[in-house]
């Protein structure tokens, strides 16, 4: 009978290499999960607080009468479609530029990129302001009620001063976000929300300036937020490496910036606009008052819920861009897997809550029994829509972190305008599903968007992504971002770092 060699037994490791590797992977997952939650939590709060500004204004306007409320709501929707969403998209390009530069330890380039974004946004304010100035004429051409058109035009004109500070704020937000410097954003936005409530109350109710005062208070509050962050960025030690003041370098290679910024804006706007079309189509249904009321409440609910996956998307955008810039493809890949798990978990929980609360949710917005019953019937469909929005929201964040905005714009156009909206029209007006058909159609679009972005991400060669980013070492050098996967062509891009 063979006896075990006591010497070999003593030399055998107590823990195998496999167990060590497994513990290491588990530690990496836990570390990445903590990083994303620490980023996403504050970013979700910032997103909710920023959304509260327009909500507070509309809330005060609601006390002025039905005409003021209807006109300001239409003007707010029009300004979001034609201005604010575009500014947000331009600012989102900094998630790629600043995030990858920070990961590559090229800290001074964050300030340079922010200067370029601010310059472009300042120029974009001119055509947007002209468009908003002519809101009344545009609404009359669209056959809207003359009184509502006149009041909406007045509200939009007084909202013009808010365009520039909103755009600058998007740049500041991304500048700090990509440095994982989040809490100044939370504090400044919280202060701004409080200031906005007080200013809006003063203008609307004390000074009796009506909807003009409500619109002007938005600009006042955005400028307050911008000035707080200007002071922080200028004097905070945490920004000394990334902000060195204005320089001529910030005026160079604007074309290179626009090559990513314009697709970034389109990627945001194409998705945003598709949901606005739902409201327009709901007004064409047999009972437009009921359908429009249901759609308004549904969109408000959906927009509120989307703030959570949007925060997760911003967090993973920062994590992916930082790791790619630092040359860590494995960490970037892990970040995408973690955020998918978080989005799926959050989506399932909120969808379950929506289904369970479907019979009482409408009472928060209205006392009309017919609207509450109709909304309860639509809530399960809305819950599915919110779940798919959560998945595509975080996948869009991955796309921004990698610099895939051009590809993302193509995906959003195909998903929503070639599939989603046509399906909504067919289900609503051909098969007569009513308001449910509108949501079922848009779910087709958001599901396809999520699926395509997921396939693109899973087929990505992360090592190749890192090699492309690390090749950007000399000013003016041409390089290529390869679209992930072997089924995609090369996207030519000229950037300067």
The string of pLDDT tens digits covering residues 368-414 is 888 889 999 999 999 999 999 999 999 999 999 999 999 999 999 99
Tokens 């090699």, residue located: 467
Number of H helices, E strands in the chain: 19, 2
pLDDT class for 3, splitting at 50, 70, 90? low
Share of the chain above pLDDT 90, in %: 61
Query: What DSSP character marks residue 392?
Result: H
pLDDT, residue 483, reads 47
pLDDT class for 497, splitting at 50, 70, 90? very low
Please say if the pLDDT value at position 9 is more than 80. no
Strands (E) across 79-227 are located at: none
Q: How many CB atoms lie within 10 A of CB 36?
A: 21
The string of pLDDT tens digits covering residues 140-171 is 887 777 888 888 899 999 999 999 999 999 99
Alpha-carbon distance 423 to 419, whole Å? 6
Alpha-carbon distance 334 to 315, whole Å? 13
Query: What DSSP character marks residue 180?
Result: T
Q: Among 373, 385, 389, which Cα is nearest to 439's?
A: 385
Q: Among 435, 182, 390, which Cα is nearest to 285's?
A: 435
pLDDT, residue 158, reads 93
Q: Is 492 exposed, middle or buried (0-12, 13-18, 19+ CB in 10 A)?
A: exposed
pLDDT, residue 357, reads 92
Which has the higher per-residue pLDDT, 442 or 365?
442
Alpha-carbon distance 59 to 345, whole Å? 33
pLDDT class for 226, splitting at 50, 70, 90? very high
Chain mean pLDDT for the chain: 86
Answer whether 480's CB lies under 8 Å from 493's CB: yes
Alpha-carbon distance 416 to 372, whole Å? 28
Adjacent-strand bridge partners of 491: 481
Please say if the pLDDT value at position 485 is more than 50. no
Q: Among 348, 370, 369, 318, which Cα is nearest to 180's?
A: 318
Please say if the pLDDT value at position 103 is more than 90. yes
Every domain of the chain and the residues it spans: 42-252, 263-497
Concatenated DSSP letters for 49-88? HHHHHHHHHHHHHGGG-HHHHHHHHHHHHHHIIIIIHHHH
pLDDT, residue 173, reads 96
pLDDT class for 478, splitting at 50, 70, 90? very low
The string of pLDDT tens digits covering residues 121-145 is 999 999 999 999 999 999 888 777 7
pLDDT, residue 156, reads 92
Q: How many CB atoms lie within 10 A of CB 68?
A: 22
Alpha-carbon distance 462 to 285, whole Å? 48
Predicted TM-score of the model (pTM): 0.86
Alpha helices per DSSP H over 202-253: 210-235
């Amino acid at each position: 009978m063979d006896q075990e060699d006591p010497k070999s037994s003593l030399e055998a490791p107590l823990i195998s290499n496999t167990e060590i590797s497994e513990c290491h992977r588990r530690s990496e997952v836990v570390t990445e999960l903590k990083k994303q939650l620490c980023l996403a939590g504050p970013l979700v709060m910032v997103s909710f607080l920023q959304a509260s500004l327009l909500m507070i204004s509309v809330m005060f306007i609601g006390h002025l009468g039905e005409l003021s409320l209807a006109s300001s709501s239409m003007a707010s929707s029009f300004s979001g479609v034609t201005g604010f969403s575009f500014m947000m998209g331009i600012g989102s390009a900094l998630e790629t530029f600043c995030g990858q530069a920070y990961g590559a330890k090229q800290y001074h380039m964050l300030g340079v990129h922010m200067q370029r974004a601010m310059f472009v946004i300042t120029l974009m304010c001119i055509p947007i302001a002209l468009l908003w100035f002519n809101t009344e004429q545009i609404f009359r051409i669209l056959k809207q009620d003359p009184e509502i058109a006149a009041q909406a035009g007045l509200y939009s004109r007084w909202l013009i001063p808010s365009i520039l500070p909103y755009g600058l704020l998007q740049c500041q937000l991304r500048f700090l976000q990509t440095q994982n410097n989040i809490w100044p954003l939370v504090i400044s936005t919280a202060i701004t929300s409080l200031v906005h409530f007080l200013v809006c109350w003063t203008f609307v109710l004390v000074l009796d300036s009506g909807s003009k005062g409500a619109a002007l208070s938005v600009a006042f509050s955005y400028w307050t937020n911008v000035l707080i962050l200007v002071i922080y960025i200028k004097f905070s030690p945490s920004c000394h490496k990334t902000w060195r003041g204005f320089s001529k370098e910030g005026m160079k290679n604007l074309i290179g910036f626009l090559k990513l910024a314009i697709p970034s804006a389109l990627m945001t706007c194409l998705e945003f606009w598709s949901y606005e079309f739902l409201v327009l189509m709901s007004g064409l249904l047999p009972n437009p008052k009921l359908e429009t009321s249901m759609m308004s409440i549904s969109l408000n609910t959906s927009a509120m819920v989307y703030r959570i996956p949007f925060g997760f998307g911003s967090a993973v955008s920062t994590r992916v861009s930082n790791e790619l810039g630092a040359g860590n493809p494995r960490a970037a890949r892990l970040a995408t897997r973690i955020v998918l798990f978080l989005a799926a978990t959050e989506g399932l929980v909120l969808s379950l809550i929506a289904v369970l609360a479907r019979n009482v949710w409408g009472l928060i917005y209205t006392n009309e029994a017919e609207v509450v019953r109709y909304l309860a019937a639509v809530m399960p469909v809305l819950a599915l829509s919110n779940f798919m929005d959560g998945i595509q929201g975080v996948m869009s964040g991955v796309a921004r972190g990698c610099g895939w905005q051009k590809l993302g714009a193509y995906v959003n156009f195909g998903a929503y305008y070639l599939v989603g909206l046509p399906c909504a029209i067919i289900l609503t007006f051909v098969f007569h599903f009513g308001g449910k058909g509108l949501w079922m159609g848009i779910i087709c679009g958001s599901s396809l968007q999520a699926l395509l972005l997921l396939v693109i991400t899973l087929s990505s060669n992360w090592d190749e992504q890192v090699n492309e980013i690390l090749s950007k070492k000399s000013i003016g050098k041409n390089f290529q971002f390869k679209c992930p996967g072997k089924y995609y062509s090369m996207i030519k891009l000229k950037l300067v770092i």
